Amino acid sequence: MIPRPETAHWFAAAVSLLIGLLLVSEAIVGTEVFRRRAWRAYLFPSVVVVSSVGLWVITVFSTFSTMHLLAHAVWAQAALVAGAVELAIVRGKLRSPNWSLVPAFALLASGFAFLVHEPNTWLYSRSAFLHHAIGWMLVVVSIFPLLQALRPRQVAWRAGFALTFVLLAVLLFADRDAAPIFGRFGAGGP
Amino acid sequence: MSSEIATSIPREDEREGTVRRPWRALAVQLLGPLTILGGLVWAVAQPYRIVLLDRAGQGIYDYLFQAPLLVVLVGLAFTVLIAPGLVEDLEVEEQRDPTA
């Protein structure tokens, strides 16, 4: 009854797309308007915390490989910490913009986890290609929350952080367990 | 003429049905439909991703998680649950502070 990896990745992609849409809309209307209704303010951190619980469930089933188990545990923990910090910010318990360093670290750790747990080279298969692409993407985009900590009023960093999740969703939706990298046009794959 | 009869002519932009839609409200309203459109285009481009159209040898998860339909579902959820309230709050904010 355990779903295939590609199925789990598509579900994660849907959650990432939802988070992306929430953050993009927040970047458009501004944080003040977005948080005018309490349920909307708590939605993003709640989705992240619930996702971390889902990632812990996946971690439990990742017994086929030590690296996969560790990587999923890192993602689950990173999401849990980032979600908890965001909840505390919305609640007003944490006020310093420096707390944006936590999601920056979470993205960086997640990126390295993606890169480390993929044993194959870029062109081995679509799954390998996407793991490398997502890993490096997360490492690079961790600069956005880092810059948010340094210049919190700059909309560009907020928009970049939001679009990160949309791009992550696109890459995760493209995942297949066994497929050439670029479909019928591409190299790699079985 | 009595002022009770001669009232001022209502301004063009205050008439019912001609509510001003600034770009931010429009952008928020477009996010969901564009996502739905993306999912539908994907479903047309890769119909084999829709299990309902190709049922041979499929399991329960294949029915639950059909990638293009997940995209449509997320877009639909945003359009119905998030965008209307957000646009409403944005319009209240802009009426309060027109320079916003």
Q: Is residue B8 part of a domain?
A: no
The CATH code of the domain that includes A59 is 1.25.40
Residues spanned by the domain of B57: 22-96
pLDDT-derived band at B17 (thresholds 50, 70, 90) equals: very low
List, for residues A49-84, the tens digit of each pLDDT value.
Answer: 999 999 999 899 888 888 889 999 999 999 999 999
Q: Is residue A99 part of a domain?
A: yes
- Give the A-side interface with B, CB within 8 Å: 3-4, 7, 10-11, 13-14, 17-18, 21-22, 24-25, 28-29, 32-34, 36-37, 40, 173
Least confident of A34-38, A47-51, A101-105, A176-180: A176-180
Q: What is the mean predicted confidence (pLDDT) over A82-89?
A: 95
For residue B75, the chain A residues in CB contact (below 8 A) are: 21
Q: Is residue B11 part of a domain?
A: no
Q: Is residue A121 part of a domain?
A: yes
Q: Is residue B65 part of a domain?
A: yes
**Statement: residue A2 has pLDDT above 70:** yes
Q: Report yes or no: B89 at the A interface, CB cutoff 8 Å.
A: yes
Which pairs from A136-140 meet CB under 8 Å and 24+ separation? A136/A111, A137/A111, A137/A164, A137/A167, A137/A168, A137/A171, A138/A107, A138/A108, A138/A110, A138/A111, A138/A114, A138/A164, A138/A168, A139/A107, A139/A108, A139/A111, A139/A112, A139/A115, A140/A111
Report the percentage of chain B scoring pLDDT > 90.
Answer: 48
pLDDT of residue B15: 47
Q: Is residue A190 part of a domain?
A: no
Q: Is residue B85 part of a domain?
A: yes
**Statement: residue B14 has pLDDT above 60:** no
Q: Is residue A180 part of a domain?
A: yes
Q: How many domains does chain A have?
A: 1
Q: Does the beta-carbon distance from A21 to B73 stay under 8 Å? A: no
Rg of chain B on CA atoms, in Å: 23
Could you tell me the pTM of the whole model?
0.87
Q: Does the beta-carbon distance from B70 to A13 stay under 8 Å? A: yes
Q: Is residue B6 part of a domain?
A: no
Residues spanned by the domain of A123: 5-185
* Cα separations in angstroms, A74 against A56, A80, A99, A111: 9, 10, 19, 10
List, for residues B76-90, the tens digit of each pLDDT value.
Answer: 999 999 999 999 999
pLDDT-derived band at A117 (thresholds 50, 70, 90) equals: confident
Q: Which helix (H) or strand (E) holds A137?
A: helix A126-141
Q: Is residue A83 part of a domain?
A: yes
Q: Is residue B69 part of a domain?
A: yes
Measure CB to CB from residue A3 to each of B31, B35, B61 and give the nearest one.
Answer: B61
Q: Is residue A74 part of a domain?
A: yes
Q: How many CB atoms neighbour CB A143 within 10 A?
A: 15
List, for residues B27-66, the tens digit of each pLDDT value.
Answer: 999 999 999 999 999 999 988 888 877 777 778 888 888 8
List, for residues A163-186, the tens digit of each pLDDT value.
Answer: 999 999 999 999 887 777 776 656
Q: Does the beta-carbon distance from B85 to A17 stay under 8 Å? A: no
State the average pLDDT for chain A: 90
Q: How far apart are CA A3 and CA A127, in angstroms?
A: 16
Q: Is residue B2 part of a domain?
A: no
Q: How many domains does chain B have?
A: 1
Q: How far is Cα of residue A145 from the mean position of the Cα atoms in its chain? A: 13
Q: How far is Cα of residue A31 from the mean position of the Cα atoms in its chain? A: 21
